Amino acid sequence: MSARPALLDELAWRELISQHTEGLPAALAAGVVSGYCGFDPTASSLHVGNLIPIMGLMHLQRAGHRPYALVGGATGMIGDPSGRASERVLQGLDAIHANAEAIRAQLSRFLDFEGPRGAKLVNNVDWLSKLSVLDFLRETGKHFSVNYMLAKDSVKSRIEGGISYTEFSYMLLQSHDFLELNRSEGVTLQFGGSDQWGNITAGLELIRRAGGKESNGLTFPLITNADGTKFGKSTGGGSVWLDAERTSPYQFYQFWIGADDRDVSKYLRYYTLFSQDEVTALDAEVRSAPEKRAAQRALAVEVTTRVHGAEAARVAQEVSALLFEKADPQGLSGEALKALRAEIPFAEYAPPAEGAPAEGAPAEGIDVYQCLTLLGIAASRGAAKRLLEQGGVSINGVKLGAADRVVGEDRLLRDRHLLVRKGQREFGLVQVP
């Protein structure tokens, strides 16, 4: 039986430990530990790059300890230089407050905020905004030499290109946060990415010098894909957000479905609560039948359900099955059709005015040529005609021929939709009034 606390065993097999202080195992074994991690509120949503520390707090709570999520309402106005090559754009206090509220709602999908050991959200603007410059210098600044700060990687990497005093001071502010939480809430553990180790150890040093309780730190690995690219970017290069308005549940689901076979095993460990036996079984399926992508499907369903809910995950699966697995469009739910409208070209069919049909258009029925041109699948009616002659068009899963230029209303899907497909991967959706 392992001598380490259950939390460290859990994080270790999930490969979620980069570094931790020597005293952490004993502290976890001695009783309930309160630990925190900070989140930058410079956007109105967290993104998948934040999921590792969120999962860390989740594991902390599941192991019987108490998680604190610190929203950097004050430090978010300054910016952490760690891992950055240039100064960030500073935001106003109103925007920071609005972002903090949105982040709380997202964290509630992972953490239980109820009960005596419920998670607690704190905002460092509550104490840093009341701290005078003189008090800050006396209580925190006096404990750090400039040489100590210059030796930290987060500062050292920026010296040549230049770093403002604003960002240079970030380490002291984060250290002060740890000291404040240690004093007011009894927090003795800080989580962070491995690039935060310097800031975390500075906080440990401040707590020690200020006579606070024994404290510890733990960092998680920084995640990259098997091809060396940064984890958390979509194929378009943008971040994959937890907010459905920024990244739709379908796009979010597809991000995980697209995981490389070389990466999916570690992603199952990092981003789900699957047991070792479940992960081992999915690992075996990757090796024996990679074309089935069973591990990627399990990963995508689990994470999408956690972030967006079971219904959104179901709809994302339905849309994905239609677009990539040739599922029958006749069975599409109303929710899936609504989601499709946001993911593929969509147009509303405009029948010709009575007595004035378009040149060569049928007097009755739905004109396939018009559907193709409305969606931009064909540049003109002549191009649409050639597509039908070549057999390259399907409507609602049925392949059309040269003579099939009209679709009857009996062929409409739910809510009077037509799903148009050119070839294997080009789709469009038309709604008929």
CA torsion, ordered 307, 312, 316, 318, to nearest 10 deg: 150
In 289-377, where does DSSP find H-type helix? 294-308, 310-325, 334-343, 368-374
For residues 187-203, average pLDDT: 93
Task: Provide the 8-state DSSP code for 238.
Answer: S
Q: Which pLDDT band, with edges at 50, 70 and 90, does 164 fall under?
A: confident
Strand order in the sheet with 398-399: 346-348, 426-431, 417-422, 393-395, 398-399
Residue with more model confidence, 235 or 86: 235
For residues 84-112, average pLDDT: 76
The answer to which of 20-34, 360-374, 382-396 has the lowest mean pLDDT is 360-374
Reduced to 3 states (helix: H, G, I; strand: E, B; else coil), residue 70 is strand
For residues 219-236, average pLDDT: 81
In the block, tokens 């509630």 appear at 108
The answer to which of 232-236, 284-288, 349-353, 387-391 has the lowest mean pLDDT is 232-236
Of 218, 177, 186, the closest CA to residue 201 belongs to: 218
pLDDT at residue 2, rounded to an integer = 45
Q: Which pLDDT band, with edges at 50, 70 and 90, does 83 fall under?
A: very low
CB-based contacts of 123, cutoff 8 Å, min separation 6:
70, 71, 72, 73, 74, 100
Of 123, 151, 134, 141, the closest CA to residue 206 belongs to: 141
Tell me the per-residue pLDDT of 106-129, one tens digit each, with 9 for 90 and over: 999 999 999 888 999 999 988 888
Amino acid at 344: I
**Per-residue pLDDT for 339 more than 90?**
yes
Q: Report how far residue 123's alpha carbon sits from residue 97's, in angstroms, rounded to the nearest whole number.
A: 9
**Per-residue pLDDT for 85 more than 50?**
no
**Per-residue pLDDT for 87 more than 50?**
no
pLDDT at residue 355, rounded to an integer = 46
pLDDT at residue 261, rounded to an integer = 96
pLDDT at residue 362, rounded to an integer = 57
For residues 48-60, average pLDDT: 96
Tell me the per-residue pLDDT of 340-357, one tens digit each, with 9 for 90 and over: 999 999 999 987 655 445
For residues 328-336, average pLDDT: 93
Give the highest mean pLDDT range of 142-146, 209-213, 370-374: 370-374
Q: Which pLDDT band, with edges at 50, 70 and 90, does 90 fall under?
A: low
The answer to which of 56-70, 204-218, 226-240, 261-275 has the lowest mean pLDDT is 226-240
pLDDT cut 70: percent of the chain above it: 88
User: How does the average pLDDT of the chain come out, rounded?
Assistant: 88
Q: Which pLDDT band, with edges at 50, 70 and 90, does 43 fall under?
A: confident
pLDDT at residue 359, rounded to an integer = 56
pLDDT at residue 79, rounded to an integer = 54
CA torsion, ordered 267, 269, 273, 278, to nearest 10 deg: 100
CA distances 276 to 2, 22, 273, 412, Å, are 16, 26, 9, 47
> What kind and span of H or E run contains 97?
helix 93-107
CB-based contacts of 234, cutoff 8 Å, min separation 6:
240, 247, 251, 255
Total Cβ atoms within 10 A of residue 234 = 16
**Is the CB of residue 122 less than 8 Å from the CB of residue 187?**
no
First to last CA, the chain: 68
pLDDT at residue 142, rounded to an integer = 81
Query: For 42, what's the count of Cα atoms within 13 Å in the CB-facing half-sphere?
Result: 12
Amino acid at 215: S
pLDDT at residue 1, rounded to an integer = 37
pLDDT at residue 77, rounded to an integer = 65
- Backbone phi and psi for residue 411, each to the nearest 5 degrees, phi listed first: -95, -5
Q: Report how far residue 153's alpha carbon sits from residue 148's, in angstroms, rounded to the nearest whole number.
A: 11
pLDDT at residue 228, rounded to an integer = 80
Q: Report how far residue 387's alpha carbon sits from residue 200's, in angstroms, rounded to the nearest whole number.
A: 62
pTM of the shown model? 0.88
Tell me the per-residue pLDDT of 312-324, one tens digit each, with 9 for 90 and over: 999 999 999 999 9
Q: Report how far residue 231's alpha carbon sits from residue 237's, in angstroms, rounded to the nearest whole number.
A: 11
pLDDT cut 90: percent of the chain above it: 64
pLDDT at residue 363, rounded to an integer = 56
CA distances 288 to 72, 268, 277, 285, 362, Å, are 46, 17, 17, 5, 53
